[in-house]
Amino acid sequence: MHYVIVGNSAAAIGAVEGIRSVDPNGRITLFSDEPYHTYSRPLISYYLFGKVTEDKMYYRPLDFYERQGVEARLGTKVSSLMLGEKMVVLESGESVSYDRLILATGGKPILPPMPGRELEGVSSFLKWEDVRGLEKTLFPGARTVVIGAGLIGLKAAEALVKRGAQVTVVELANRVLSAILDESAAAMVQESLEEHGVRFFLENTVSEILGTEGKVSGVRLQDGTVRECDRVVIAIGVSPNADLARNTELTLNRGVLVDEFMQTSVAGIYAAGDVAEGYDILYRQKRVLPILPNAYKQGFTAGVNVAGGSQSYRGGFAMNSIGFFDLPMITAGIVKPEGDEFTVMLAADKARRLYKKIVLREGKIVGFIALNQIDRAGILTGLMDKEVDVTPFQDDLLREDFGYVYFPKEYRQQQLLKGVLEGERS
Amino acid sequence: MKRVYAREEICGGCKLCEVHCAVAHSQYPNDIIKAFLKQKTKPIARILVEEGRPISFALQCRHCEDAPCTKACITGAMQKDPVTGIVANDETRCVGCWTCILVCPFGAIKRDESGHKVASKCDLCATVGGTPVCVQNCPNDALVFTDELWRR
Ligand SMILES: Cc1cc2nc3c(=O)[nH]c(=O)nc-3n(C[C@H](O)[C@H](O)[C@H](O)COP(=O)(O)OP(=O)(O)OC[C@H]3O[C@@H](n4cnc5c(N)ncnc54)[C@H](O)[C@@H]3O)c2cc1C
Ligand code: SF4
Ligand code: SF4
């Protein structure tokens, strides 16, 4: 059996580990257009400000491919698929045949068609290469405009500030982190970032990047404002990198559609991670969930199934743990519900920048925001994942010491004594 | 695998397990006085006693079979040992992003911000070997280290 994996990040590594949990001997070939040993994408912002050095960037130990028996062809781009022939075609023209194929090609930056994108000093913030360029040329005081106040844009902004840059963030929405925070929480986060020197222009965007002699010299905003700057980071968002699947029999929506086994519309071909569109158990529809835990889990599931095992991943939901300077936050699921099927519970302390919001539907938690008060937040995530009816202890959910002690005894013991209670051996 | 189980009917809520855990994972693992007085930052226990009338019980990492923390870890620092089953964090690679806290359904991971931020959790005293110190030091025998079935 010859497995071919396109990709070398969380989903691809999950796939390798999934395959090996079932099939220790099958041949695995992995392709990546990036030249590096598998690295952790979220660490690129840490790398930029020097918190993580090169040797700590790697997602798995340096002998990973060898130990797992993987032929890793790094720096090798797959340029097209020939599904009929069961072959992938490389940029060099070489074609490689497979028995089973896993697409784990991740995401690519959304680059709006704004003039000036090609100027020197403009970069995106997705690959190690992007920050390697920035890192070398960044000088103290560099005036930097970040386009986009989402997770990646703000992570970039934080790292740039820590590197001594003067940072301005421009965002189309009315608040920062609009995908994971509501207005109140976003205002607290924005205020904290402002205290660290970040300037914000909300409900605005860059209409043109200005340059002189091929280099960035400023930006013109939608409202006409012109700001001088030395660097521009485009972080508007990520879309599934599904180029390989286009014009093939694979069914595409935003991403490559997969079932609960991570199989695409074509038997024997699987997809996982930021390129795939699987089921979201909260929105109750297929959605791209571009987060690392989802990429790994989907990849692992794909690996198990491709190798003849049987594991279903019934679906995931959005969840993030992120922090800027000393302000951590954990959020999950539906955080700004619309409709009367939802109940919202709220606790806020503006002065201490504490904010907790829990969203319920049909007696179950479907979303929460925990700002600056994140300890044990995973208990809530667990209740969401297991779709536990929280009605019996709903009033305790917002307590600072919320924990297993508030659960009904039977459920608590089922969880805590798993493995030793009679008849419940795991 | 052997895990630590709490008997909530017996636990008196004295929190000695927390104290001994903190000491065992401090810079002075054999000296309770020094651990609390000499170390610059207060040693952190990797076990937590939950209290609520009328019961209390100690809770620490369950070393889950499917270990969600290892799947979610963004750096690869959190790993489950395929042989022992112990889930442990390589603190040299952890960056304190708290993604593991986001997914741990037991709330068993603590933030250690005394040095560079790291996720701190029960390691079943793997470095000590034998029975974990919380179990050894519980005056009420409310903690059991076992892989055998219980009769209730
Ligand atoms: C700055 C930043 C911070 C982030 N922080 C977090 C965070 O804190 N928490 C979180 O959950 N998520 C975070 N994310 C998102 C997370 O990184 C992604 O969800 C995750 O990396 C997706 O993994 P993946 O394997 O699906 O794809 P990717 O990581 O995008 O990897 C795709 C792989 O495919 C390869 N590839 C693509 N096309 C080809 C081709 N044609 N031929 C050969 N190889 C190809 C690439 O080289 C790469 O190895 C962050 C992302 C960024 C950019
Ligand atoms: S830290 Fe939490 S998720 Fe990880 S193994 Fe322990 S109990 Fe399970
Ligand atoms: S805090 Fe450390 S162990 Fe936890 S997910 Fe982040 S890097 Fe991994």
Q: Which residues of B touch A426 (CB under 8 A)?
A: 65
> Does one domain contain both A98 and A37?
yes
Asked if residue B85 has pLDDT above 80, the reply is yes
Q: Ligand 2 mean position to A386 CA, how many Å? A: 15
Q: Ligand 2 mean position to A313 CA, how many Å? A: 19
CB atoms near residue B127 (< 10 Å): 10
Tell me how many domains chain A contains.
3
> CA nearest A21: which of A249, A388, A306, A354?
A306
Inter-axis angle of helices A10-22 and A292-306, nearest 10: 30
The CATH number of the domain where A18 resides is what? 3.50.50.60
> Does one domain contain both A24 and A78?
yes
Domains recognised in chain B with CATH numbers: 1-60+122-147 (3.30.70.20), 64-121 (3.30.70.20)
**Mutation to probe ligand 1, out of A33, A37, A41 (largest number of atoms < 8 A from CB):** A41
User: A161 lies in a domain?
Assistant: yes
Phi and psi of B80, rounded to 5°? -100, 125
User: A115 lies in a domain?
Assistant: no
With b for 16 or more beta-carbon neighbours within 10 A and e for fewer, the B83-111 pattern comes to eebbbbbeeebbbbbbbbbbbbbbbbbbb
Structure tokens at B8: 């909530």
Point out the residue among B71, B106, B149 whose CB comes nearest to the CB of A420.
Answer: B149
* Percentage of chain A modeled with pLDDT above 90: 96
Q: What's the confidence (pLDDT) of residue B30?
A: 85
pLDDT in tens, B4-31: 999 999 999 999 999 999 999 998 888 8
Confidence of residue A426 (pLDDT cuts 50, 70, 90): very low
pLDDT in tens, B91-130: 999 999 999 999 999 999 999 998 899 999 999 998 777 8
Point out the residue among B107, B109, B151 whose CB comes nearest to the CB of A422.
Answer: B151
**Mutation to probe ligand 1, out of A32, A76, A79 (largest number of atoms < 8 A from CB):** A32
User: A319 lies in a domain?
Assistant: no
Inter-axis angle of helices A183-195 and A151-162, nearest 10: 20
Average pLDDT, chain A: 96
User: A247 lies in a domain?
Assistant: yes
> Does one domain contain both A359 and A299?
no
> Does one domain contain both A205 and A296?
no
Of all residues in chain A, the one with the smallest CA distance to B49 is A405
Asked if residue B152 has pLDDT above 70, the reply is no
Q: CA-to-CA distance for A315 and A74, rounded, in angstroms?
A: 31
User: A189 lies in a domain?
Assistant: yes
Is A380 exposed, middle or buried (CB count within 10 Å of its CB: 0-12, 13-18, 19+)? buried
ipTM of the prediction: 0.96
Q: What's the confidence (pLDDT) of residue B29?
A: 87
User: A157 lies in a domain?
Assistant: yes
Q: What's the confidence (pLDDT) of residue A422?
A: 67
Domain that holds residue A249: 2-108+239-306
Q: Where on the phi/psi map is residue B122: left (φ > 0), alpha (ψ -120 to 50), or beta?
A: beta
User: What residues contact residue A319 under an 8 Å CB cut-off, 6+ apart?
Assistant: A291, A293, A330, A331, A332, A333, A381, B102, B103
> Does one domain contain both A245 and A282?
yes
Q: Read off the pLDDT of each residue in A245-269 and give the average, rounded to a whole number.
A: 97
User: What residues contact residue A2 under an 8 Å CB cut-off, 6+ apart?
Assistant: A26, A27, A28, A29, A97, A98, A99, A100
**Cβ atoms of residues A111 and A118 within 8 Å:** no
